[in-house]
Amino acid sequence: MSQAIAGKVVVITGASSGLGAATARHLGALGASVVLGARRTEQLNSIAADITAAGGKAAVVQTDVTIAADVQRLVDTAIATFGKIDVLINNAGLMAIAPLDALKVDEWERMIDINIKGVLYGIAAALPHFRAQGSGHFINVSSVAGHKVISPGGTVYSGTKFAVSAISEGLRHEVGGAIRTTVISPGAVDTELQSGSSHAQSAAHLKEFYKIAIPAETVARAVAYAIEQPDGVDLNEIVLRPTLQDF
């Protein structure tokens, strides 16, 4: 239990696996009420059941972050169930690595829809509530690929993550004061994200690279650290990677 986290209502997208699931479990154990959004409800229900069995509080909403109404329903459910929303974690993401000349246009569009529009839809759903209550915390999951373009094959993915950083910094300028904004930029983490590429050569490269991956729980602890800061402290960016990772 954490006094700084206990009683907070935290909404998490992409919560059915990976960083989202690990963060939900960790924050639930620290006393937060967590509201889990993802497309795969069976996994969400299993995670929520584990949290509640351990004495925590959790709610589940089937959510496709590419649909604005779904994200709005996720936030509205948090307020209807727990009376407020303190933190929104925009975590859902897709990493489809491939060289540009492979012309994976459908995957480019999917990454833009999930990695950029999904974040914007989360902001649109939560910001009016944060404004009304005079407090709130956006935590947007980016990547080290939002600081350096992944090569080879990561041009579009990196572009979406650079966008997350730019949107987050603009958001901070517009709403800073009572509302906090944090960007979490992980390196190689052991999640399903590494399996998003349909390009065989890129997928093989990622499989080899991800042998150095760190556990998702590492990122969950970083998220908790950002939330635990005093209200007057806005921890704007956390970059974490395996010690063996060279970029």
Query: What backbone torsions phi and psi does residue 87 show, to the nearest 5 degrees?
Result: -140, 135
Query: What backbone torsions phi and psi does residue 149 show, to the nearest 5 degrees?
Result: -70, 125
Asked if residue 245 lies in contact with residue 187, where contact means CB atoms within 8 angstroms, the answer is yes
Asked if residue 29 lies in contact with residue 56, where contact means CB atoms within 8 angstroms, the answer is yes
Helix (H, G, I), strand (E, B) or coil at 112: helix
Helix (H, G, I), strand (E, B) or coil at 230: coil
Give the whole-angstrom CA distance, residue 74 versus residue 62. Answer: 8
DSSP 40-82: -HHHHHHHHHHHHHTT-EEEEEE--TTSHHHHHHHHHHHHHHH
- 33-38, strands of its sheet edge to edge: 57-62, 33-38, 9-13, 87-90, 136-141, 179-186, 237-240
Tell me the Ramachandran region of residue 205: left when phi exceeds 0, alpha when psi lies from -120 to 50, beta otherwise. Answer: alpha
Which are the catalytic amino acids? Answer: 157
